[in-house]
Structures are given as C-alpha cells and as structure tokens.
Amino acid sequence: EAQVTQNPRYLITVTGKKLTVTCSQNMNHEYMSWYRQDPGLGLRQIYYSMNVEVTDKGDVPEGYKVSRKEKRNFPLILESPSPNQTSLYFCASSQTGGAFSEAFFGQGTRLTVV
C-alpha cells in the first residue's frame, strides 16, 4: 500500500531536549515536505526536499532542521524545542514538486513541548 509513515504519532517533550520526527514514503517520490498545522493558520511549510541531498526552506524554517540522505526518508529535527513549536506536524511526498503532482500526507505527529 502506498503510504507516508510518520513516527511518533504523539510526543510530549520538555524544552531544550532534542527530538527527531521520522517520515518515510514507499512510493519512490522525489519531493518531500514538512508542514506544521496550527489553529486558524492552516498548514505552513517548514522545509522541503526536491531529491536526495537537496533541501530548502519553506515559510517557517526557524528552529527546525531536516536531512535527506535517502530518497524514502525525510526526518524533521528539533535541536532545542520550545513551547511555540507545540503543533501538529505533517510530512508529505509527491513525485515532483509543483503542478499536477499529487501530494500524499502522513497521519500527523502531535507534538507538545512543555
């Protein structure tokens, strides 16, 4: 089954404790992206990757890092989480970026930073 898998689904952590949210896709997609979803703000793009070793900032990259060492994986790293990073996070993949390349989203990771 074609899917995007995120782990963990839920995470509560303390300020400053480094964490990684994993994302994996089994569709051989080139393009992957991370979003955060906050009430009233919709989804905002954090980082995206057009292919292995190619990443770029989205609209809200501050406080986040990503890497793309393999095509299927695109982890999101929070080196020093802060409470304003409490949010619902989604990973997505598509064959390419841009038009007419359907994006597939993971189930989401709800992160709480206390």
Who contacts 113 (Cβ-Cβ below 8 Å, separation ≥6)?
A: 13, 14, 15, 81, 82, 83, 84, 85, 86
Choices 11-19, 66-74, 78-86, 103-111; region in contact with another protein by CB under 8 A: 103-111
- Candidates 23, 46, 48, 66: give the one binding another protein (CB under 8 A): 48
Contact 18, 78 (CB under 8 A): yes
Q: Name the β-bridge partners of 89.
A: 36, 109
92, exposed or middle or buried, with CB in 10 Å at 0-12, 13-18, 19+?
A: buried
Closest distance to another protein from the beta carbon of 16 (Å):
28
- Among positions 61-80, residues that touch another protein (CB under 8 A) are none
The nearer residue to another protein, 18 or 57, going by C-beta atoms, is 57
Task: Decide if residue 100 touches another protein (CB under 8 A).
Answer: yes
Residues that bind another protein (CB under 8 A): 4, 31, 33, 35, 40-45, 48, 50, 56, 58-59, 90, 92, 97-100, 102-108
